[in-house]
Amino acid sequence: MKTIAMILREIAALFVDDGRLALAILALVAFCAVLAFGLHGPASGIAGALTAGSIVILAFSVRQGARRKPH
């Protein structure tokens, strides 16, 4: 039972390690979904928002991680 619980925890950790990073990605996708299905925005705008948003999220997440003391 312990092994199964540990395997399930590890599976969840594959996607969610830094909770803020995971939440930011979900928020970005939700924003793009509203653009696509709610506002019927142009495909190039959605593609641009998704790509640029991912890079911005990555940069902020790295900045957050770089607050600790270097190894």
Partner 1 sequence: MTWTMAAPALSAAFLASLVEVVEAFTIVLAVGTVRGWRPALIGTGCALGALALLVLLLGPALTLIPLQALQLVIGVLLMMFGLRWLRKAILRAAGFIALHDEEAAFAKETGALQAGDSGTASRRDWLAGLTAFKAVMLEGIEVVFIVLAVGAGRGLLWPASLGALAACALVLALGLILRKPLARVPENTLKFAVGVMISAFGIYWTGEGLGVSWPGADLAILALAALLLASALTLVAAFRKRSVEMTA
By CB under 8 A, the residues from 21 to 50 that bind partner 1 are 21-22, 25-26, 29, 32-33, 36-37, 43-44, 46-47, 50
Spatial contact of 18 and 61, defined as CB atoms under 8 Å apart: yes
Q: Does 15 bind partner 1 (CB under 8 A)?
A: yes
Out of 1, 5, 38, 68, name the contact with partner 1 by CB under 8 A. Answer: 68
Contacts of 29 (CB under 8 A, 6+ apart): 50
Spatial contact of 24 and 55, defined as CB atoms under 8 Å apart: no
Q: Does 59 bind partner 1 (CB under 8 A)?
A: yes
Q: Does 18 bind partner 1 (CB under 8 A)?
A: yes
